[in-house]
Amino acid sequence: MKKIIVILLIFSHGALSLPGDGELVATPYIKGTTYNQMGAYQEAVSVFKEVLNTEPNNDKAYYQMGVSYLALKQQDKAMNAFEKSIEINPKNPSSYLNIGLIYFKKKQYKKALKLYQRANKIMPNNQDFYYNMGVIQEILGKNTKAIEMHKKSIEIKPKFSSYYHMGIIYGKLKQHQKALDAYQKATDINNLIAEIYFRIGRTYEIMAQHQKAIDSYQIAASLDQKNPINYEEIGFNNMALGQYQEAIEAYQKVVKIKPDDYISYYSIANSYYELHYNKDNAYGTKSYNNLYESIKAYKQAIKIKPSFKIAYINLFELSLVQNQAFEQDLLVKFQHNFANNRQAMMEFDMLSTLKKIDTTKQLLNEKQKQNFKDKYKGIHFNNWSWREIEQWINTKTSSKATLESALTFFKTFDKPNN
């Protein structure tokens, strides 16, 4: 995933894959294949040209010359050589596979598909043709056809990559149990590929089976210990289960690998806050250590990404419900980054207004309400949780009624459900 192992999408044959090489005893030909094996591709081309001068119908020499050109990234010359090989011997699957590979690299997927379909008529039941057709059909968005091709490939011989791609396609079709079944069969063939366990974890995650997702991501992490995405997903799913300490431990592994991952610091902050909140579930007795760690992590996220709005807002909200002043340094940075951001300023103005009401005990009047409406017309609080503010208001006495009135007004700016 950029972050994860990429499975080879298309099958091709190299210089050593052509059956029957041992039958040829012509010294120049053997010399050319030796050059190919050594990676001396230009020398190999020269030798195969000599071979073809004396043996113009030597399809294997054309094939090997195509391999040389392909390695030299001279795709057009490679294609011509492979096509010559097919003209002489239409039943050489390796030439078709390599021409298809060239089309694939050029993103000429329909040409590659037609080629494999043609080859399949000449040489039916070739596993590699079916597999490659499955890959191409998937790229073309023909998922049902792609599944059909991979199944035919598997009928000939079970193959890890066929099951892998079937799992991906079933996932696209939202047939998640079938995706899991395909991935499981892939692990029966090879259980040492982290990517497949990551895919299993992601599928369980989509199905909201978070513990099973965690179990799969942990296997992926054990196989690919330096890949942070596995730990990110372990953290996310632990948070979904309310297992915040486990989430923190997972995200700490992420930032150890990626010290500038501000999103993981943000998730650490949220997890510490939930530990603080859920421990006491009120603002009378507090878990100060968790709260301190939460604030520290939010600030680290801002240090890495000064334009990370939600971290500022969360810190301001924490200051509000802890009856503390907004930190001046944060205020300066926030104004610098978000003075022209109406969404950010709306959220900040709401919090600062509540703080002012708590201090003055003055009711939010109609003029102030209208000014707020005019200033932030068309803007909503997106997915805002009022839990902490409501808890905070419930601890108040003299300012409780005025705060509740203001909160009722601000809630009218919640984004309506579609």
pLDDT tens digits, 279-326: 554 443 446 789 999 999 999 999 999 999 999 999 999 999 999 999
Span 323-333, average pLDDT? 96
| Residue 374, both tokens | 């005019």
What number of other Cβ atoms are within 10 A of residue 99's Cβ?
A: 27
The pLDDT mean for the chain works out to: 92
Span 193-220, average pLDDT? 98
**Angle, helices 342-360/328-338, rounded to nearest 10 degrees:** 150
Tell me the C-alpha distance between 200 and 213, whole Å: 7
- How confident is the model at residue 279, as a pLDDT? 58
Please, are residues 257 and 229 in contact by the beta-carbon 8 Å criterion? Answer: no
417 band by pLDDT with thresholds 50, 70 and 90 = low
Residues 6+ apart with CB under 8 A from 185: 158, 163
1 band by pLDDT with thresholds 50, 70 and 90 = very low
Please, are residues 235 and 251 in contact by the beta-carbon 8 Å criterion? Answer: yes
Span 318-336, average pLDDT? 96
pLDDT digits (tens, 9 = 90+) for 7-16: 344 555 544 3
| Residue 72, both tokens | 């030299």
* DSSP state at residue 6: P
Please, are residues 396 and 362 in contact by the beta-carbon 8 Å criterion? Answer: no
Residue with tokens 């599944």: 147
- How confident is the model at residue 17, as a pLDDT? 41
Residues 6+ apart with CB under 8 A from 224: 4, 5, 194, 230
Span 128-137, average pLDDT? 97
What number of other Cβ atoms are within 10 A of residue 177's Cβ?
A: 10
Please, are residues 413 and 376 in contact by the beta-carbon 8 Å criterion? Answer: yes
Please, are residues 178 and 190 in contact by the beta-carbon 8 Å criterion? Answer: no
Please, are residues 153 and 10 in contact by the beta-carbon 8 Å criterion? Answer: no
pTM of the model: 0.84
What number of other Cβ atoms are within 10 A of residue 211's Cβ?
A: 13
pLDDT digits (tens, 9 = 90+) for 393-403: 999 999 999 99
Span 135-147, average pLDDT? 97
User: Which of 27-41, 137-151, 302-316 comes out lowest in average pLDDT?
Assistant: 27-41
98 band by pLDDT with thresholds 50, 70 and 90 = very high
DSSP alpha helices (H): ranges in 173-322?
176-189, 194-206, 210-223, 228-240, 244-257, 262-280, 288-304, 309-321
All structural domains of the chain with their residue ranges: 1-119, 326-418
- How confident is the model at residue 416, as a pLDDT? 75
Q: Which residues are 414's β-sheet partners?
A: 381
Q: Residue 351: name the closest of 316, 324, 327 by CA.
A: 316
Tell me the C-alpha distance between 410 and 213, whole Å: 38
- How confident is the model at residue 104, as a pLDDT? 95
Q: Residue 35: name the closest of 3, 61, 54, 7 by CA.
A: 61
Please, are residues 380 and 413 in contact by the beta-carbon 8 Å criterion? Answer: yes
Percent of the chain with pLDDT over 70: 91
Three-state secondary structure call for residue 381 = strand
- How confident is the model at residue 287, as a pLDDT? 64
Please, are residues 298 and 314 in contact by the beta-carbon 8 Å criterion? Answer: yes
Q: Residue 162: name the closest of 192, 139, 183 by CA.
A: 183
- How confident is the model at residue 184, as a pLDDT? 98
- How confident is the model at residue 227, as a pLDDT? 97
Tell me the C-alpha distance between 98 and 85, whole Å: 11
278 band by pLDDT with thresholds 50, 70 and 90 = confident
Q: Which CATH architecture has domain 1-119?
A: Alpha Horseshoe (1.25)
Write the CA distances from 42 to 47, 52, 60, 307, 418, integer angstroms: 9, 16, 17, 53, 64
Three-state secondary structure call for residue 292 = helix
- How confident is the model at residue 276, as a pLDDT? 85
72 band by pLDDT with thresholds 50, 70 and 90 = very high
- How confident is the model at residue 418, as a pLDDT? 52
What number of other Cβ atoms are within 10 A of residue 158's Cβ?
A: 14
* DSSP state at residue 260: T
